[in-house]
Structure 1
Amino acid sequence: MNLVLLIASLSMIMGFFLLLSIQPKELTSQIFNGLTRTPKSIREEVKEATGQKKPSIFKREVKEIESILTITGREHRFPMICACSLILFAIGASIAILLENVFLVPVLAGGFLFLPFWYVRLTQTHYKKDIAAELETALSIITTAYLRNDDILTAVEENMDYLNPPILSVFQSFVYRIKMIYPDITKGILDMRGKIENNVFQEWCDAMIACQYDRSLKTTLTPIVSKLSDMRVVNGELENLVFEPRKEFITMEFLVLLNIPLLYFLNKDWYHTLMHTLPGQFIVAICLVAIFVSTAFVIRLTQPIEYRR
């Protein structure tokens, strides 16, 4: 009966979308923007600015994901992420309703809601690793060429063939700006500085600007570039250290989830107690809360180390 009512509700919702010509992406982005950008009093804004009052977990997560997508050049995907999040929210609540477990409704709905956000965080990790690896190569060869000829434009042009996207487009725009639009090296480097969210690259740009006024400062460029190599080594060691704990964590999660259907074959009375009595349903909800919360902490704590100035 619950399945029939659920299908009827979903069909009715889809019918409203079709009749009113509502785009799901636009609707979800407006809902998320409305939840995260609610009008606040001056007192609340002052408290948040001074750290006396922190925004809710949901608002912090949405703002962080929006900033991650902006940094990685994928801000156009924010409505799609919001739509996937709301769809998974509905799927989680539907699964809990079909299982006839009232305690699971907020747990599965909230847990499934954050799945797209966690996926974006994981893709951010790979994106930053790729950017750091390309920057290490690009800055190394460009710095070597600059130390030889004392001309940053010539140094970039000489090594353009050895650069790969997305670093290639940044240095290409720098060359085109200097040669065809405005021949100011300092402003060109400042413009290039804001296109890559990497502290080592920004420090290298600051040092390169200083070198335009004092050529003796070019000896500071090589130590700055070496920081990228140091961070790559540190992150490699960190990845080796967290690999085993992460694998054990995933294994324990699967074991906890597989124990539920396993009980059906081992002892049906235990399975009935777990799935169809209030204490058992509450225990299942607590286990899933622990799984979702621990997953969020594991994703947050296993992010690669970044250099901070």
Structure 2
Amino acid sequence: MNSIQGSFALVFVFVLISLGLFLLLKLNPFAVEKNTLKQRRLYLSRTKLKISERVILRFTTLFRQTRYTLKKFILMVAAAFVSGFLAGVLLFNNAGLAAVTAVCLIPAPYFYLTVKSSRAAREEIEGLENTMSIITNAYAGCDDIIKAVETYVEEKNRYTPVELRKPTPFDEFISEIKLINPNIEHGLYRLSAKIKNRYFAEWIKMLILCYHDRRLKFALFPVIKSMNDAKAMQIESDSMMGRVWRDYLMTVGMMFSIIPLMRFSNAEWFAILTGTTLGKLLIVVMLVTALATSFFVMKMTRPANR
């Protein structure tokens, strides 16, 4: 009974320390850059995306880019939890610390998909400039956003057999506008959330302004030109992302490898570390630090133009 209570106490302490670190470091993987004018415009038009909607769009984009399904992702999370628990038992020989380790490994599949999706995201963004140019030219001629996007979709699918066509965010935009929600502004914000690119977001903002005032349509072209100038920096940032994660995982592995070495080299110290309250709290702090820094690394390795 005391062992179970101790396990719950450790998990509770872990949750409190995690929340404290996340609040202290202001870590939020779904944070959106604050923009007063944008918030005002969203409030007036009532097209602001809810937090739940942003999270759903984030995971939908990850699944599309990595070709994973929700079922497979859930299995990965379950496998990470079980692996973390088993690793905790082997490392610490304590059920409470093993449970904390299992909780720390739950975000691992999300990190894996984020790194894995970087290549697909880069491929999408490499063709994004051409896509934006086609839509902008079409919009400059017809003054209709829906028709301009449809022109791009038709051009993209013209020489591709139906069975080989892959749905893109622009296909989804047309379908959502026609079948689900006819609010064009809301659809454009959803489109912007699906493609993480700073220049694309600026282009979407200008497109929304053009929706209210068509005379601003020629302001779309400078955004596309700016995007072309940033391609080299984007590729360099993406290649750096993998190296940073590799070095980070090596550092975390070296940090936790001390514990099993201590188990064989100095059993008395290992017993103090895993058997006393102070030692358990120290391990919890190590686990929480590893979890918090992983989110920090993910935030810092995000390319500047995304």
Which range, TM-score by smaller chain? 0.5 to 0.7
Q: Distance in 1 between matches of 2:220 and 2:283?
A: 57
Partner of residue 227, structure 2:
228
Partner of residue 132, structure 1:
125
Q: Distance in 2 between matches of 1:158 and 1:125?
A: 24
The answer to whether the aligner puts 1:69 opposite 2:59 as a matched pair is yes
**Structure-to-structure mapping, 1:1-309, within 5 angstroms:** 65-66=55-56, 68-69=58-59, 81=73, 84-85=76-77, 88-98=80-90, 99-101=92-94, 104-122=97-115, 128-147=121-140, 149-150=141-142, 153=147, 157=151, 160-162=154-156, 165-167=167-169, 169-170=171-172, 173=175, 190=185, 192-196=187-191, 197=193, 198=195, 199-210=201-212, 213-214=214-215, 217-239=216-238, 245-257=244-256, 268-270=264-266, 272-273=267-268, 275=270, 277-279=271-273, 282=279, 287-306=286-305
Partner of residue 48, structure 2:
none
What amino acid maps onto 1:139 in structure 2?
M
What is the aligned-residue RMSD (CA, Å)? 4.7
Say if 1:127 and 1:108 are closer, same or farther in 2 by CA, change over 3 A: same
Offset at 1:151?
Answer: 5.7
Offset at 1:299?
Answer: 1.6
Offset at 1:108?
Answer: 0.8
Aligned residue for 1:113, secondary structure, equals coil
Partner of residue 40, structure 2:
none
Say if 1:218 and 1:146 are closer, same or farther in 2 by CA, change over 3 A: same
What amino acid maps onto 1:100 in structure 2?
N
Offset at 1:139?
Answer: 1.0
Offset at 1:166?
Answer: 0.5
Offset at 1:227?
Answer: 4.1
Per mean C-alpha deviation after superposition, the further-off stretch among 283-292 and 245-254 is: 283-292
1:235-281 superposed Cα distances (whole Å, 9 cap, x missing partner):
334346666544432332344455666678xxx434x3564x22377
Aligned residue for 1:143, secondary structure, equals helix
Q: Distance in 2 between matches of 1:156 and 1:234?
A: 31
What amino acid maps onto 2:227 in structure 1?
L
What 5-or-longer segments of structure 1 have no aligned partner?
1-52, 182-186
Aligned residue for 1:304, secondary structure, equals coil
Q: Distance in 2 between matches of 1:73 and 1:269?
A: 45
What 5-or-longer segments of structure 2 have no aligned partner?
1-22, 32-50, 158-165, 196-200
Q: Distance in 2 between matches of 1:262 and 1:86?
A: 28
Offset at 1:118?
Answer: 3.0
Offset at 1:57?
Answer: 8.7
What amino acid maps onto 1:169 in structure 2?
D
What amino acid maps onto 1:161 in structure 2?
E
Q: Distance in 2 between matches of 1:191 and 1:285?
A: 43
Offset at 1:222?
Answer: 0.3
Aligned residue for 2:303, secondary structure, equals coil
Larger Rg: 1
8 Å CA contact 2:93–2:274 kept in 1: the answer is: no
Partner of residue 18, structure 2:
none
Partner of residue 37, structure 2:
none
Give the TM-score, by structure 2 length.
Answer: 0.53
Q: Distance in 2 between matches of 1:155 and 1:301?
A: 33
What amino acid maps onto 2:151 in structure 1?
E
Give the TM-score, by structure 1 length.
Answer: 0.53
1:132-162 superposed Cα distances (whole Å, 9 cap, x missing partner):
3343221113324555x45653785377334
What amino acid maps onto 2:298 in structure 1?
I
1:214-239 superposed Cα distances (whole Å, 9 cap, x missing partner):
3xx33212012234335544433434
8 Å CA contact 1:92–1:109 kept in 2: the answer is: yes
8 Å CA contact 2:132–2:224 kept in 1: the answer is: yes
8 Å CA contact 2:104–2:291 kept in 1: the answer is: yes
Partner of residue 5, structure 1:
none
Partner of residue 15, structure 1:
none
Say if 1:150 and 1:130 are closer, same or farther in 2 by CA, change over 3 A: same
